[in-house]
């Protein structure tokens, strides 16, 4: 049985016109595949009554007085409502559909309410529905523990539901429908010439996803990579094929080998750089600083250390608090708020010399200081002052000629 999984986000099901498009994508999939599984998020955005945010707003302080277990119970209703509304549309078009809650779809999780991890997927009931010719409409973002507690998988959790089901069912492909036409070479609101990419490797998209190009939940990418499920990110409102995300070998089989070194530029705004510099070597420095961060539950990123200095970034909202903590420990931190982390991503850069040098060329040549840098085999990150971030992204996009197909 050839199965496809289609995931529709909250904005894809927010009104009748969009749901009509969703219907067309499902009908199209039924012509090509034996089994169609549809995963949906809660309908709409903040302000619409059945959106996740609106449900949270029913609680004082968005649920801060309530245990996470009860908050999760509330949130699971959003996706169930959305799934039933979509199934209703399908039945009206004579497409038989069966709705499954996360629990009924066999999504078994641990009991970490609010950010549960999937432990197992038991898609027997889902498969039985597919075999009876039904479209299976699954409420995303949720699961159930072995003893029947309802859980949610955290924001973006519907992506995880979709890819976990695709893996468990051995699906041919997962289509993630969203409001953009695939994954872009950079944010088109910043770079006018940015264009959707035809192909991306899992590793590339993982780096993009971690870095603010909100295309796909990072855990979803990891599962897709692990089970080798090709994922298409595409627009609900068009028939374009969007971006195909797969392994490098899979992509090579489909397309001529790409000489491209850099694939895209991602960014995260609102980052504060923290630096602590000692005049002499201080063997305790790193230990004291990072232990303090851990004790205060502050997540740190972009770490650069030397024998007499420590530098790292935190979110802008935490910058002042971090500075106070460090001052309380007798340090004199240098705090630079409002920075941007810009990342140059490309599977082709692995083992290729000269990429960092080209980045420096592009930025420093235009008087944009690089406050920090780091690299992995598919990504180079640079930290730049926030007011120069948009320039930096545009310059890098042009420098690596990403506007060219």
Name the residues that contact a copy of itself, by CB under 8 A: 49-50, 55, 58-60, 63, 65-67, 69-71, 73-74, 76-77, 80-81, 83-85, 87-89, 91-92, 97-99, 101, 103-104, 148-150
Choice between 50 and 381, CB closer to a copy of itself = 50
Nearest distance in Å: CB 288, a copy of itself: 38
Write out the H or E segment, with its range, that includes residue 306.
Answer: strand 301-306
Q: How far apart are CA 375 and CA 356, in angstroms?
A: 9
- Closer by beta carbon to a copy of itself, 59 or else 111: 59
Reference 85, options 56, 50, 125, 55; nearest CA is 50
- Cβ-based nearer residue to a copy of itself, 149 or 301: 149
The answer to whether the beta carbons of residues 372 and 312 sit under 8 Å apart is: no
Nearest approach, Cβ of residue 80 and a copy of itself (Å): 5
d(CA 82, CA 10): 9
365 is in an annotated binding site: no
Collapse the DSSP code of 184 into the 3-class scheme (helix H, G, I; strand E, B; otherwise coil) and give the result: strand
Residue 92: CB minimum distance to a copy of itself, A: 5
Identity of the residue, 81 or 245, whose beta carbon is nearer to a copy of itself in the bound complex = 81
| 64 annotated as ligand-binding | no
**Residue of 2, 141, 164 whose CA lies nearest to 80:** 141
Q: What DSSP assignment string belongs to 312-351?
A: EEEEHHHHHHHHHHHHHTT---EEEEEEEEEEEE-GGGTT
Q: How far is the CB of 60 from a copy of itself (least distance, A)?
A: 6
Q: Is position 52 annotated in a ligand binding site?
A: yes
351 labeled binding residue? no
Residue 100 and residue 137 in contact, taking contact as beta carbons nearer than 8 Å: yes
Whose Cβ is closer to a copy of itself: residue 125's or residue 195's? 125
Q: How far is the CB of 147 from a copy of itself (least distance, A)?
A: 8
Contacts of 365 (CB under 8 A, 6+ apart): none
Nearest approach in angstroms of CB 290 to a copy of itself is: 35
Per the annotation, does 47 bind a ligand? Answer: no
Element holding 389 (H helix, E strand) = helix 389-399
Q: In the complex with a copy of itself, which residue's Cβ is closer, 81 or 153? A: 81
| Residues of the binding site for substrate | 52, 79
| Residues of the binding site for ATP | 7-10, 178-179, 189
| Residues of the binding site | 7-10, 52, 79, 178-179, 189
């Amino acid at each position: 049985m050839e199965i496809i999984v289609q995931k529709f986000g909250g904005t894809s099901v927010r009104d009748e016109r969009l749901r009509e498009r969703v219907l067309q994508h499902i009908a199209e999939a039924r012509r090509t595949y034996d089994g169609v599984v549809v995963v949906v998020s809660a309908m709409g955005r903040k302000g619409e009554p059945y959106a996740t945010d609106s449900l949270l707003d029913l609680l004082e302080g968005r649920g801060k007085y309530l245990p996470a277990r009860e908050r999760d119970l509330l949130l699971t209703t959003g996706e169930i409502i959305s799934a039933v509304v979509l199934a209703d549309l399908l039945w009206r078009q004579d497409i038989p559909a069966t709705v499954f809650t996360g629990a009924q779809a066999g999504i078994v999780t641990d009991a970490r309410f609010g950010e549960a991890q999937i432990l197992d997927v038991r898609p027997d009931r889902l498969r039985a529905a597919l075999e009876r010719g039904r479209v299976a409409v699954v409420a995303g973002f949720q699961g159930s523990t072995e003893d029947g507690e309802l859980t949610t998988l955290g924001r973006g959790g519907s992506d995880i539901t979709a890819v976990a089901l695709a893996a468990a069912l051995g699906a041919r492909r997962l289509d993630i429908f969203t409001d953009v036409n695939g994954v872009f070479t950079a944010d088109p609101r910043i770079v006018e010439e940015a264009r959707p990419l035809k192909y991306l490797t899992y590793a590339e998209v993982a780096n993009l996803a971690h870095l603010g190009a909100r295309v796909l939940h990072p855990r979803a990418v990891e599962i897709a990579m692990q089970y080798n499920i090709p994922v298409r990110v595409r627009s609900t409102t068009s028939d374009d094929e969007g971006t195909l995300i797969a392994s490098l070998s899979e992509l090579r089989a489909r397309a001529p080998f790409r000489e491209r070194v850099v694939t895209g530029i991602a960014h995260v705004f609102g980052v504060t750089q923290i630096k602590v510099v000692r005049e002499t070597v201080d063997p305790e420095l790193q230990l004291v600083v990072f232990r303090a961060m851990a004790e205060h539950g502050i997540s740190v990123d972009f770490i650069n250390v030397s024998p007499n200095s420590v530098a790292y970034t935190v979110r802008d909202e935490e910058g002042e608090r971090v500075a106070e903590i460090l001052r309380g420990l007798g340090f004199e931190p240098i705090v630079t708020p409002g920075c941007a982390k810009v990342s140059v991503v490309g599977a082709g850069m692995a083992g290729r010399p000269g990429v960092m040098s080209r980045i420096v060329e592009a930025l420093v040549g235009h008087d944009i200081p690089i406050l920090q840098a780091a690299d992995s085999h598919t990504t180079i990150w640079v930290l730049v002052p926030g007011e120069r971030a948009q320039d930096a992204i545009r310059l890098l996009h042009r420098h690596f000629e990403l506007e060219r197909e």
